[in-house]
Copies of this chain bind each other. A is one copy, B any other.
Amino acid sequence: MSDSGQLSEFDIIARYFADIDGGTTVGTTVDTTAGQSAVTLGVGDDCALLSLPPGQQLALSIDTLVSGRHFPENANPYQLAERALAVSISDLAAMGATPLAFTLALTLPAVDTQWLDGFSRGLRAAAQAYKLPLMGGDTTQGPLSLTVQVHGSVSAQTALKRSAAKPGDAIFVSGTIGDAAVALAMIQGRLTVDQAQQNFLNQRFYQPSARLDIGQGLLGLANAAIDISDGLLADLAHIAKASQLAAVVNVDQLPLSSVIKAVVEKPQALAYALSGGDDYELCFTAPPENRALIKTLGQQLGVPITEVGTMLAGSGVSCIDASGGDVSVDASGYQHFNHSE
């Protein structure tokens, strides 16, 4: 660490985090369309205060990233901050929520000004990109970890809940899936790729896009949604279980990037697409009659949306291929605490 600790907690906040406003201005009313923040009182009091548009509920999600478990100890702090915020915002996207503000609890082994500089710049860039001001936080000393809580607004009536899938719903996926799992294989040295492929995969892994615009566009069109963090099969299983339905995925319809098709064989590509996590695309279910509108939404936003299966009466997730035959796959996704030694 490049600095042994002359800065107090107050100094750290003032120097690195005080101006992360996501490009919004703090006011006393909420008019987010005018670039005004919903934050009516920010960092520096016992509590921060946040306003909600009338008739809306607060949507929130909290996530912790621990050094050595969720990211390597020497991870680039700029990328770490950018990715942490995008991953949390992805949960807002999966509800169809509009972002309002976030909080950050940062635990650092020591005051490292170089690390803090990179981290705060990455955080500022992501906050700006998603128009999400930092409204409060805590800075403590200890093993490196960060906890981000994101806050958005949504109507409870239209929010995209996991439990709201209906029998006969078509299942859709945004973007392409499996890329982050391939990227991880590359980063860990299990796969060799060319420079253009490496750039694409690094971007997919380190700079995932939270699909906020898709989530908001799906309000009224889709019934249920989830973001793909643990792998399509594992995340779709959450929708199936919460909705008390079965999900059937046609593996020949999975949206695969040209890079994944170029660097691994098809069975391996499908395994990554089905069970690889960290893509942060949306998986959602919608009545089949909304197909055309959903396709148009994807075209307007410049993100492919692909139909990959159907929700049916029953339970569990199963896979078929284009011929209609059953396909055997390992349906388990990533779970913390599993098989700890």
Interface of A with B (CB < 8 Å)?
4-5, 7-10, 12, 28, 40-41, 44-52, 54, 57-70, 91-92, 94-95, 97, 103-105, 107, 110-111, 135-143, 145, 147, 149, 151-152, 154, 156, 159, 161-163, 225-227, 242, 335-341
- A161 nearest in chain B by CB position: B45
14 contacts between A and B (CB under 8 A): A4-B341, A5-B337, A9-B335, A12-B337, A41-B161, A47-B60, A47-B95, A47-B154, A49-B58, A63-B138, A105-B105, A141-B336, A142-B145, A147-B147
Partner of A141, one of B66, B104, B107, B136: B66
- A57 nearest in chain B by CB position: B49
Residues from chain B with a CB closer than 8 A to the CB of A111 are: 337, 340
Could you tell me the distance in whole angstroms from the C-beta of A174 to the nearest C-beta in chain B?
Answer: 14
User: Do residues B49 and A154 form an inter-chain contact, with CB atoms below 8 A?
Assistant: yes
User: Do residues A64 and B8 form an inter-chain contact, with CB atoms below 8 A?
Assistant: no
Residues from chain B with a CB closer than 8 A to the CB of A45 are: 95, 161-163, 242
User: Do residues B47 and A92 form an inter-chain contact, with CB atoms below 8 A?
Assistant: yes
User: Do residues A28 and B156 form an inter-chain contact, with CB atoms below 8 A?
Assistant: yes
User: Do residues A69 and B337 form an inter-chain contact, with CB atoms below 8 A?
Assistant: no
Known: A47-B95, A107-B66. A54 touches B57 (CB 8 A): no
Partner of A44, one of B91, B137, B162: B162
User: Do residues A138 and B143 form an inter-chain contact, with CB atoms below 8 A?
Assistant: no
- A93 nearest in chain B by CB position: B46
User: Do residues B105 and A49 form an inter-chain contact, with CB atoms below 8 A?
Assistant: no
Partner of A143, one of B8, B143, B162: B143
CA distance A321 to B110 in the complex (A): 40
CA distance A78 to B4 in the complex (A): 35
Known: A62-B136, A336-B140. A145 touches B9 (CB 8 A): no
Partner of A46, one of B94, B136, B139: B94
Known: A44-B162, A49-B58, A61-B47. A66 touches B140 (CB 8 A): yes
Residues from chain B with a CB closer than 8 A to the CB of A70 are: 140
CA distance A48 to B270 in the complex (A): 32
User: Do residues B143 and A60 form an inter-chain contact, with CB atoms below 8 A?
Assistant: no
CA distance A136 to B91 in the complex (A): 13
Known: A9-B337, A60-B103, A62-B149. A49 touches B159 (CB 8 A): yes
Could you tell me the distance in whole angstroms from the C-beta of A105 to the nearest C-beta in chain B?
Answer: 4
Residues from chain B with a CB closer than 8 A to the CB of A139 are: 336-337
User: Do residues A105 and B340 form an inter-chain contact, with CB atoms below 8 A?
Assistant: no
User: Apart from A49-B57, A52-B58, A54-B54, what 14 extra A-B contacts exist at CB < 8 Å?
Assistant: A5-B338, A40-B57, A44-B162, A45-B163, A46-B227, A47-B97, A50-B60, A51-B156, A60-B103, A67-B142, A103-B149, A110-B340, A111-B337, A147-B147
CA distance A339 to B135 in the complex (A): 27
- A156 nearest in chain B by CB position: B40
Could you tell me the distance in whole angstroms from the C-beta of A313 to the nearest C-beta in chain B?
Answer: 22
